[in-house]
Structure 1
Amino acid sequence: MTSICTRCALRIHRASQLETQPIASRAFSQAATRSREFPTFAYTTNDDLNDALANLRNKHLVPAFLNKREQKLIFSPKQKDYLKENPQTIELGGEEIELQWMNRLTDRPARKALTHQALEQIFETRDDKAWTNVAKLLQANQLLKKPVDERMQAKIVRKALNQGKIAHILAILQQSQKTGMSLKTPQVLDTLIQGFRDLAQRTNWDKAHTEKALKEMNLVALMLESEEHGGGGRLRKDDPRRSPKVLGVMLELAAVHAYKHLEGKDTTGVVHRYADRLLSCMDDGHVAPSEEALNLSERGPQTSFQQSIPVLHGTFLANKMLGEKMPQAEKARQVLTNYEARLSGLAAVLESRAPEKGTYDYLALESWQKMIRD
């Protein structure tokens, strides 16, 4: 006679009681099917991070994946003693999880606070295992129908750039339907492309970093062609594919790479192509930016100043390399004249402030000073 293990016998006994037991005594979650993907966080060497992730999982994610009867079991005061005396388990993400009774008001730390706590711990490390949890955190908040706000998404991008973890951001963007992070979010796109060019610029445009930035920028350009990140087949209003601040960085990186590392030759025609595309997308307001459009702030990031530098830098190098073959040559000369005059004046103001290293003014002035002019 075939023997049956104790655990299997217990499960058979429970199953036989399902139809006759009241809800207070049913073990109805043993074979439940979960159609949604359950985010599984990676365990790290950081105990504070592990605790925040575990709390988010146990107190928010697990309840969200339960059916109504199971939720009643973990939230109803009447079920507290029963659940304690009769442990129940479910399977999520390939893991068997024991259901825990909890008080909705006192036993559940705020979801947003837990998410931010976990992210702040991740921001302080370069550990890849910790950074893999960023995508899972975003996915978890999406499943809870409480997506991470745009400001925090931009901060995630900025911190990833600072820690050399941009590959994680690109992976997050490539699964935007799960993570909710998209290049349609202006703060995410602006932070990302500015970060690409700044990382290359801070190495004085060395070959490896410039090529890496150019490769990553080309990947972003491809993403912008998709429905998830751009307009797909249509050009929408304020489409980033026609934005001078986006095209300016693309031209700048291509032009710096060709000028400094390809003996000043546009061997593939990419510089000509990007220059023509940039100039075609610049209306009168872009060719001759007003003081309102291009200015300095008293404090904080010098956004318009820094976003205008790639336009000038890229156009300058393209014109220098292409000469008579420069597309829309007259318009290019107007851009060079107007941007040089405006930006040099603003750079003088920044210099007069004697900014300390690492400040927003210092970083903006550094961008100006590291333009290639020889």
Structure 2
Amino acid sequence: MAQNAVGRLFRGQSSSTLRQSIGTLTSKRSYSKNAIPSFSPTSSPELDQALIRFREELFIPFGLTTPQRKLMFRTKYADRLDEEPVSVSIGEDEEPFLLRPMDPQSRPTIKEAWDTIALMKTTKDWQNLIPFLSGLRMSHRLVKSDRWQWLMRRAGHADALGIMLECAKQPERTGLRFRNVDIVQRYFFELHRKAQQADFQDPAVSKTLGLAKQAVTLMESPEHQEHNLELDPKRRPFVVGTLLELSAARALNVFGGKDETGDVRLYAGRLLGTWGAGTFDSEAKDWVNIDRMLQENVPIYNGMKLALQVNGISNDKTIAPALKTRVNELGMLITNQKKAASENVKQQPTLGLEQSQLLHQV
């Protein structure tokens, strides 16, 4: 019956037939496939309005059936829909949604999506990120790698790295998977920076270490696995190097210099075993590559230096000499990278505060 109505609707017919078809297609019904995301109040009226706009003008229409969506976006049905408003059930606890004519060109753009996320300032604001990303995914607006990195950076500034981890725990809903090297590196660098800003003291160091461990566990799951070993982020030194840095800092600042959990020894050994997969290129001259390598290498370098101060590691005749050798090698590389980066900063003062801070971390 509904299929016949669809056929008549798009072949053109009399106003009475059209009225009957619209009634058939838009009778109240619940969604069976796409759950429409909803949002909690935020700290900003501007953000509230932006979220409402995305929900009503993009997410809800994409949650409709195809015929219902066509009723809203095809101009030939606009007058009839104005004359005979119809409503659709979008959830058990919500008022029915009133279908209305819409111009497809007026729908929120992907650029507006980033502008909306940029309005998120508080942790309460960021709690709307997961439903927002799920709405974008439902609406076929995909998030590319560079935007995930941008999100990681903003989450770090907003103390929302835990929310980004929750996004990764729901990859089918949000699209975030920890199998891209650039995305994972940015997340781990933000963990490093969060702990570094707190001088590697608790509660920050224990919190960031917990998030790092959860991220690594997540990368073992099928949804996040990268089967090309050369591209597998969890095999890169920056992952285990950050774990070493955070665990060594906790041993020194929380456990009185003792490796009580055994994490420091574990991660030191793993770091030495993954060294060959690192990015240690002293020939990089442009800021993009220098910045990337500094973000990758500073936590590794700091982690090894801290580990060498932990009881049981500093006097280990196997691990300590190997760590000292790598510290010297990486220290020389970072010195060269910082020198080249400083020249880039002088030539490009617009690079900003983040880059300047990075140059002073070692």
* Structure 2 contact 152–187 (Cα < 8 Å) conserved: yes
- Pairs aligned (count): 337
More helix, by proportion: 2
Where structure 2 has 5 or more consecutive residues not aligned to the other structure, the ranges are: 1-15
1:246 equivalenced with 2:239 (yes/no): yes
Which amino acid in 2 is paired with 1:343? I
1:302 equivalenced with 2:291 (yes/no): yes
Of 170, 195, 198 in structure 2, the residue corresponding to residue 200 of structure 1 is 195
* Structure 2 contact 290–341 (Cα < 8 Å) conserved: no
Give the equivalent residue in structure 2 for 1:121.
119
1:365 equivalenced with 2:359 (yes/no): yes
TM-score (norm 1): 0.80
Judged with a 3 Å threshold, the aligned counterparts in structure 2 of structure 1 residues 169 and 298 are, in CA distance, closer, same or farther, namely closer
Judged with a 3 Å threshold, the aligned counterparts in structure 2 of structure 1 residues 341 and 183 are, in CA distance, closer, same or farther, namely same
Give the equivalent residue in structure 2 for 1:340.
331
* Structure 1 contact 272–326 (Cα < 8 Å) conserved: no
* Structure 1 contact 83–100 (Cα < 8 Å) conserved: yes
Q: Residue 117 of structure 1: CA displacement?
A: 2.8
Judged with a 3 Å threshold, the aligned counterparts in structure 2 of structure 1 residues 148 and 290 are, in CA distance, closer, same or farther, namely closer
Q: Residue 159 of structure 1: CA displacement?
A: 1.0
What is the rounded CA distance, in whole Å, between the counterparts of 1:138 and 1:119 in structure 2? 10
Give the equivalent residue in structure 2 for 1:6.
none
Which amino acid in 2 is paired with 1:214? L
Judged with a 3 Å threshold, the aligned counterparts in structure 2 of structure 1 residues 32 and 354 are, in CA distance, closer, same or farther, namely closer
Of 52, 72, 79 in structure 2, the residue corresponding to residue 54 of structure 1 is 52
Give the equivalent residue in structure 1 for 2:250.
257
Judged with a 3 Å threshold, the aligned counterparts in structure 2 of structure 1 residues 344 and 62 are, in CA distance, closer, same or farther, namely closer
1:161-172 residue pairs with structure 2 within 5 A?
161-172=156-167
Q: Residue 274 of structure 1: CA displacement?
A: 0.5
* Structure 1 contact 24–73 (Cα < 8 Å) conserved: no
SS in 1 for 2:88: strand
Judged with a 3 Å threshold, the aligned counterparts in structure 2 of structure 1 residues 23 and 70 are, in CA distance, closer, same or farther, namely farther
Which amino acid in 1 is paired with 2:268? A
Q: Deviations over 1:19-58 (max 9, x none)?
A: xx62334423233242222212334353332333233223
Which amino acid in 1 is paired with 2:85? P
Give the equivalent residue in structure 2 for 1:32.
29
Q: Deviations over 1:45-78 (max 9, x none)?
A: 5333233323322322232222243234323434
What is the rounded CA distance, in whole Å, between the counterparts of 1:351 and 1:44 in structure 2? 40
Q: Residue 278 of structure 1: CA displacement?
A: 0.8
* Structure 1 contact 183–224 (Cα < 8 Å) conserved: yes
1:140 equivalenced with 2:135 (yes/no): yes
Which amino acid in 1 is paired with 2:304? T
Q: Residue 116 of structure 1: CA displacement?
A: 2.2
Of 316, 320, 334 in structure 2, the residue corresponding to residue 325 of structure 1 is 316
Give the equivalent residue in structure 2 for 1:12.
none
* Structure 2 contact 59–139 (Cα < 8 Å) conserved: yes
Judged with a 3 Å threshold, the aligned counterparts in structure 2 of structure 1 residues 187 and 137 are, in CA distance, closer, same or farther, namely farther
* Structure 1 contact 207–261 (Cα < 8 Å) conserved: yes
Judged with a 3 Å threshold, the aligned counterparts in structure 2 of structure 1 residues 239 and 198 are, in CA distance, closer, same or farther, namely same
Give the equivalent residue in structure 2 for 1:270.
263
Give the equivalent residue in structure 2 for 1:149.
144
1:54-73 residue pairs with structure 2 within 5 A?
54-73=52-71
SS in 1 for 2:260: coil
Q: Deviations over 1:242-293 (max 9, x none)?
A: 111111111111112112332221122111111111101112x759x3413x
Judged with a 3 Å threshold, the aligned counterparts in structure 2 of structure 1 residues 177 and 340 are, in CA distance, closer, same or farther, namely same
Which amino acid in 2 is paired with 1:22? T
* Structure 2 contact 61–69 (Cα < 8 Å) conserved: yes
Which amino acid in 1 is paired with 2:75? P
* Structure 1 contact 296–302 (Cα < 8 Å) conserved: no
What is the rounded CA distance, in whole Å, between the counterparts of 1:110 and 1:323 in structure 2? 57
1:174 equivalenced with 2:169 (yes/no): yes
Compare 76-85 and 324-333 and name the one that shifted more. 324-333
* Structure 2 contact 179–232 (Cα < 8 Å) conserved: no
Compare 137-146 and 109-118 and name the one that shifted more. 109-118
* Structure 2 contact 286–344 (Cα < 8 Å) conserved: no
Q: Residue 118 of structure 1: CA displacement?
A: 1.5
What is the rounded CA distance, in whole Å, between the counterparts of 1:72 and 1:317 in structure 2? 61
Q: Residue 191 of structure 1: CA displacement?
A: 1.6
Q: Residue 298 of structure 1: CA displacement?
A: 4.2
Q: Residue 115 of structure 1: CA displacement?
A: 1.4
- Give 1 or 2 for the bigger CA radius of gyration: 1
1:315 equivalenced with 2:309 (yes/no): no
Which amino acid in 1 is paired with 2:234? R
* Structure 1 contact 135–179 (Cα < 8 Å) conserved: yes
Which amino acid in 1 is paired with 2:254? H
Q: Residue 353 of structure 1: CA displacement?
A: 8.3
SS in 2 for 1:333: helix
TM-score (norm 2): 0.82
What is the rounded CA distance, in whole Å, between the counterparts of 2:248 and 2:331 in structure 1? 18
